[in-house]
């Protein structure tokens, strides 16, 4: 599918278009064109009206089949933009939901994705149908408003049912954690921004054989394995973080995130191959998530095989000014993993 990527940002705000393009590639979308605007959000189209008309022309000339915004859109904005440009318009969060749906393999992951999807759709149901009805002749849809209420209530009931199931999943996982602790196991969680190399590190230290690729959100459900050289230390791969997740999406994956918050130690992985502004942004996003809970954190700088010695020294110095001692490693090449294991043993 060919898509046009759009971003509106405030003056001085860093662009996230590159990350949006990476999300699109994860769904195998081809980026036909991009459009940017620096201004305050417009209540009708989020971008200005003139820029919205420019977008419509760009969609037509590039033969795009979809428009994806880096910004969160209101239901009204998405609906008005779709009518103007002639193709479906979605925002970054809907794209993330579609990636989650594609990645969900286990029953637990599918429950979480369905809960997130319905949480996203619920406030949009009434507004979308109301907008449709406003352009119809009175009485054309008959009992439409009643039908919308019925559907709205059905979605709320589904959400309540999914909440109960997710609580059951969390309770079962909590029982497994308690059993491991009683047997003398220490729990170490791998955390970090999506695509930082968590699954590669898990494979390097355990016999996990987890799927690894260069796309976003490969891991949705926690995967726990014993470290080969320390059988009493269990390593858990977790879902990656991403900037600006709304509360309803965090709530949907609460059971998964608990693997991080209830661990004896959290290993925060930072991608050394990122440019320094991106590295700092992703580090701060990750620390912001972890800061909500009293967890012990050690930081590793991964993928050092992809950068020069001078670049490594610069990034280590920068990170050491933001946090305690940072361990440089390459999970893919096995570089410095013994020193990293020593840090784990010293902190659990």
Q: What is residue 161's predicted lDDT score, i.e. its pLDDT?
A: 95
Q: What is residue 140's predicted lDDT score, i.e. its pLDDT?
A: 46
Out of 3.90.1150.200, 3.40.50.2300, 3.40.50.11060, 3.90.550.10, which CATH number does the structure's domain 2-99 have? Answer: 3.40.50.11060
Q: What is residue 137's predicted lDDT score, i.e. its pLDDT?
A: 46
Q: What is residue 131's predicted lDDT score, i.e. its pLDDT?
A: 57
- Identify the segments of the chain with pLDDT beneath 50: 137-141, 143
> pTM, whole model, 2 decimals?
0.83
Q: What is residue 146's predicted lDDT score, i.e. its pLDDT?
A: 57
261-285, pLDDT tens digit by residue?
A: 889 999 999 999 999 999 999 999 9
Domain map (residue ranges) of the chain: 2-99, 104-162, 185-347
Intrachain domains 2-99 and 185-347 with the same fold: yes
41-53, pLDDT tens digit by residue?
A: 999 999 999 999 9
Q: What is residue 120's predicted lDDT score, i.e. its pLDDT?
A: 86
Give Cα 238 to chain centroid, integer Å: 11
**Mean residue pLDDT across the chain:** 88
- CATH code: domain 185-347 is 3.40.50.300
């Amino acid at each position: 599918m060919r898509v046009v990527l759009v971003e509106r940002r405030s003056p001085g705000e860093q662009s996230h278009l590159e990350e949006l393009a990476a999300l699109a590639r994860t769904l195998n979308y081809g980026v036909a064109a991009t459009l940017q605007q620096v201004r305050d959000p417009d209540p009708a189209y989020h971008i200005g009206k003139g820029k919205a008309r420019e977008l419509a022309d760009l969609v037509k000339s590039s033969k795009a089949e979809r428009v994806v915004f880096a910004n969160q859109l209101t239901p009204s904005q998405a609906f008005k933009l779709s009518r103007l440009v002639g193709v479906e318009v979605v925002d970054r969060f809907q794209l993330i939901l579609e990636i989650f749906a594609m990645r969900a393999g286990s029953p637990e992951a599918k429950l979480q994705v369905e809960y997130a999807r319905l949480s996203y759709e619920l406030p949009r149901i009434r507004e979308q149908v109301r907008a449709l009805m406003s352009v119809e002749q009175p009485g054309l849809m008959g009992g439409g408003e009643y039908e919308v209420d019925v559907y709205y209530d059905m979605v709320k009931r589904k959400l309540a049912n999914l909440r109960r199931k997710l609580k059951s999943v969390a309770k079962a996982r909590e029982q497994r954690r308690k059993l491991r602790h009683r047997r003398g196991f220490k729990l170490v969680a791998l955390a970090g921004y999506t695509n930082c190399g968590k699954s590669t590190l898990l494979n390097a230290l355990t016999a996990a054989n987890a799927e690894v690729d260069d796309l976003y959100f490969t891991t949705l459900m926690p995967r726990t394995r014993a470290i080969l050289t320390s059988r009493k230390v269990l390593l858990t791969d977790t879902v990656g973080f991403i900037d600006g997740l709304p509360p309803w999406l965090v709530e949907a994956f609460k059971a998964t995130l608990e693997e991080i918050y209830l661990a004896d130690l959290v290993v925060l992985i930072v991608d050394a191959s990122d440019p320094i502004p991106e590295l700092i942004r992703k580090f701060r996003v990750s620390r912001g998530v972890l800061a909500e809970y009293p967890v012990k954190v050690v930081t590793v700088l991964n993928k050092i095989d992809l950068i020069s010695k001078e670049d490594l020294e610069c990034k280590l110095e920068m990170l050491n000014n933001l946090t305690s001692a940072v361990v440089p490693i390459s999970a893919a090449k096995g570089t410095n993993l013994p020193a990293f294991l020593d840090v784990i043993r010293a902190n659990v």
